[in-house]
Structure 1
């Protein structure tokens, strides 16, 4: 299942190998593309390799470089053994995403912790993995009650699990799952001598090879699509976080690889290039895309005028990473065309 090599001169012995879980997903597909372009050999996992509708982009990515697609399931112990065998790095991207689950405790929280540890046990058995990069979420950092404005949340900030379980705001299971999977992964890595770094991205924007995007793309396009359910996700992010923080998918994938390769990297890293609000996004879109008739006068009364919170990526930048997409104009660069291709926006 290997495609042509990106650099034929590079011998197989020198080529680094990475495993990316969740290759059919939005972030996973973009990370695979960048790894292949960087000269890696990649092994990725999907639930069902025969599902051509979900996985057709992987066949196209095999034209860039050596990509092997393997069957694995977060629920099945040992099913990732083949995928991580012989790999230098393991990128844990696959995770339960059913934010509207009727049983978040079982379908999100328990499933996320179990699935993460399942892959990490495979990494221990492989014996070759130099570093595990766990993709968590800013939902594990910023979902907590805060008084007043001007808060800067860094990697020492954790979402409040007790508060979330007691108050059960919309989609509460998602931040709880991310906090608990991070803590269990960290404990497991220490016990087994695995080098683990965790990346906590904010709402991710931009074009990816996958033919279906996760909730962040429909959410940030909801002003243009008129999708009220998608807008509700964006509003939940702002209400729960105190801002709408954004990162371009290319920057996120570059950060993933940077943290895998940077020997000194350790612990958690926030990944956000811009802290903004629903109001600022609406005004930007109304100016940039007048053909969509964005109504900036009819926004809900409880949206923020300015961010109350800054999700700080100072640690990531301090260690040598540089964001390439920093303004709304740059971050939204190709997501409109991607939205059209996905059918979120009319052509």
Structure 2
């Protein structure tokens, strides 16, 4: 951003943050809708200090966003921040250490990664997803849309581990998905991360359902050897 100021020719900066800066907060009950005014609770997260990745990661994203906003305001930069949810989809890589193995874990039988999905849901109230193609399109859209400003959540599906397991067991019976291992988790999301602001300004997601997302990602998982063909 300092380089952008020095150049004097940059019309807009698009910062990729994370929905982790939106959703990590104490919430009671169900039916919560989190929009761009929602922020993860830094003091709550710092107070937990249990040594997992769950606390430091959202704290870092909140601090990053707020520092960037302050810098942009001070120096007159147009800044748009995108907060993507769990991002999946094919990439030009032969080895992947991203969210792809996580959302394929119910099919691959990787219990450690299934546990990570459970951890995400218990911490945030849902498993929200967006396809990487939609995220890239959203960032281009916001770079070019003159009226764009502030934060934008970016996610097309809000689901749960239970709902995912049932969906995948029906769609891909050859993988013998376990559907009865998620004690204490509900079928419907307790929390919805809303992308209504992004859609309301004219953006349209291409991958809007679990079917559309998994059709692409399963094929990618097979190509990588995460899943048998």
**2:151 match:** 268
Q: What are the within-5 Å matches in structure 2 for residues 235-254 of structure 1?
A: 235-254=118-137
Cα distance in 1 for residues equivalent to 2:62 and 2:49: 15
Determine the C-alpha separation between the residues in 2 that align with 1:123 and 1:227: 43
Does 1:215 find its partner at 2:98? Answer: yes
Q: CA deviation at 1:214?
A: 4.1
Q: Is the 8 A contact 1:205 1:332 kept in 2?
A: no
**Retained in 2: the 8 A contact 1:215–1:230?**
no
Q: Which residue of 2 aligns with 1:196?
A: 79
Write the distance in 2 (CA, Å) between the matches of 1:129 and 1:300.
49
Number of the residue aligned with 1:132: 13
Report whether the alignment pairs 1:163 with 2:35.
Answer: no
Note the residue ranges of structure 1 that are not aligned, 5 or more in a row: 1-119
Of the three residues 184, 195, 219, the one matched with 1:302 is 184
1:312 aligned residue (156, 172, 194)? 194
Partner SS state of residue 279, structure 1 = helix
Structure possessing the higher relative contact order (Cα contacts under 8 Å, 6 or more residues apart):
2
Aligned to 2:28: 147
The answer to whether the Cα contact below 8 Å between 1:201 and 1:271 also exists between their aligned partners in 2 is yes
SS of equivalent residue, structure 1 residue 122: helix
SS at match of 1:334: helix
**Pairwise CA RMSD:** 1.3
2:109 to 222, 226, 232: 226
TM-score, normalised relative to structure 1? 0.63
Measured after TM superposition, the shift of residue 341 of structure 1 is 2.4
Cα deviation for residue 175 of structure 1 reads: 0.6
Tell me the equivalent position of 1:26. none
Higher gyration radius (CA): 1
Cα distance in structure 2, aligned partners of 1:133 and 1:212 = 27
Q: Structure 1 or 2: larger helix share?
A: 2
Does 2:217 match 1:335?
A: yes
Give me the whole-angstrom Cα distance separating, in 1, the residues matched to 2:10 and 2:94: 30
| SS in structure 2 at match of 1:137 | coil
Cα distance in 1 for partners of 2:36, 2:117 equals 23
Give, in whole Å, the separation in 1 of the partners of 2:226 and 2:59.
Answer: 29
| TM-score for both structures, normalised by structure 2 | 0.95
Give the total of aligned pairs.
227
8 A contact 2:109–2:177 mirrored in 1? no
SS class of match (2:92): coil
The structure-2 alpha-carbon separation of the partners of 1:196 and 1:305, relative to structure 1 and needing over 3 Å to count, comes to same
* 1:270–1:316 Cα contact (<8 Å) kept: yes
Cα deviation 1:6-25 (Å, max 9, x = unaligned): xxxxxxxxxxxxxxxxxxxx
Q: Secondary structure at the match of 1:232?
A: helix
Equivalent of 1:178 in 40, 47, 61: 61
Partner secondary structure for residue 202 of structure 2: coil
Work out the CA distance in 1 between the residues paired with 2:173 and 2:153: 33
- Supply the distance in 1 between the matched residues of 2:73 and 2:91 (Cα, whole angstroms): 34
Secondary structure at the residue paired with 1:247?
A: strand
